């Protein structure tokens, strides 16, 4: 799995959670993300509140287009994004490929924003 492969994919309904080795592989590709309590999580830093909110709105666009929505915690100059898939494991939740697809797209947004 490569970041470019994830960026090229679209989310689709998922019912099976990823195996531990697939999660480890995904985290190897998305180096700044970590697994925490059945989710993948990353904190993004910004210069000010305006840039933080601009990023949050861009993440909302990704969530809308992929129909896969993260939990976000927003502060003045940072935003924590948390992905998991509620529909896997008979509704008990877990990680799916959708989480990694969206995380890669959010990383790409951040890399673009950081260049400004």
pLDDT band at 106 (very low <50, low <70, confident <90, very high): very high
**Residues 79, 44 contacting (CB under 8 angstroms):** yes
52-92 pLDDT per residue, tens? 999 999 999 999 999 999 999 999 999 999 999 999 987 78
Q: Which domains does the chain have, with CATH numbers?
A: 3-114 (3.30.1360.20)
Q: What per-residue confidence (pLDDT) applies to 57?
A: 97
Pick left, alpha or beta for residue 37 (phi over 0 → left; psi -120 to 50 → alpha; otherwise beta).
left
- Per DSSP, the chain holds a count of helices (H) and strands (E) of 4, 4
Q: What per-residue confidence (pLDDT) applies to 72?
A: 98
Residue in the structure block whose two tokens are 């927003």: 74
Cβ neighbours of residue 35 closer than 8 Å, sequence gap 6 or more: 23, 27, 41, 95
């Amino acid at each position: 799995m490569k970041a470019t492969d994830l960026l090229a994919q679209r989310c689709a309904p998922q019912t099976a959670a990823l195996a531990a080795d697939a999660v480890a592989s995904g985290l190897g590709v998305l180096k700044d993300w970590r697994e925490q309590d059945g989710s993948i999580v990353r904190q993004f830093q910004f210069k000010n509140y305006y840039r933080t909110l601009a990023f949050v709105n861009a993440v909302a666009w990704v969530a809308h287009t992929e129909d896969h929505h993260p939990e976000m915690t927003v502060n003045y100059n940072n935003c924590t994004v948390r992905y998991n898939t509620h529909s896997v494991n008979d509704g008990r939740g877990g990680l799916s490929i959708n989480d990694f697809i969206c995380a890669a797209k959010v990383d790409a947004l951040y890399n673009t924003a950081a260049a400004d």
